[in-house]
Amino acid sequence: MSEEKIMNYEMMSDDELGQVAGGNLKETADDSRFLNSLTGLVDRYNHLSLGWDFGGFKHYDIRQVWNKLGVKALLSSKCSNEYYINGQRVSQEEARQHAMKVFGKQMTEADWKW
């Protein structure tokens, strides 16, 4: 395969990349930060504390807040997280936009990713 074909093959949009490569403890930690800043209904977790969540309680709390905002979240520590709105799979960013609309509060990444 030529170098040009490889370069074209490797180009993915952010949404495509998010569906393939994002799901892990870091992405779930970002969910907790986002949801904490938006609603205050869940603590802010880092990826290390989520890795020691043997009972799954922290993951459960994060899923519960997503559910309250109309998003079904399937969180994983090893593969891509999945987000659904009305049964349709959406990207993490689309889930965030939906949550902000439902909660009535707009934020930028700088507002929650600290």
Q: How far is CA 107 from the centre of its chain?
A: 15
pLDDT of residue 78: 72
pLDDT of residue 22: 44
Range of the domain at 99: 3-112
User: What is the number of structural domains in the chain?
Assistant: 1
Q: Residue 2 is encoded by which pair of tokens?
A: 């030529």
Three-state DSSP state, 52:
coil
How many Cβ atoms are within 10 Å of 7's Cβ, its own excluded?
9
| Mode of pairing for the β-strands spanning 88-90 and 72-74 | unpaired
Q: Are 95 and 63 in contact (CB under 8 A)?
A: no
Residue 39 CA to residue 48 CA, distance in Å, equals: 23
- pLDDT tens track of the chain, all 114 residues? 555 555 555 555 544 544 444 458 889 999 999 999 999 999 999 888 888 887 788 999 999 999 999 999 998 777 779 999 999 999 999 999 999 999 999 999 999 988
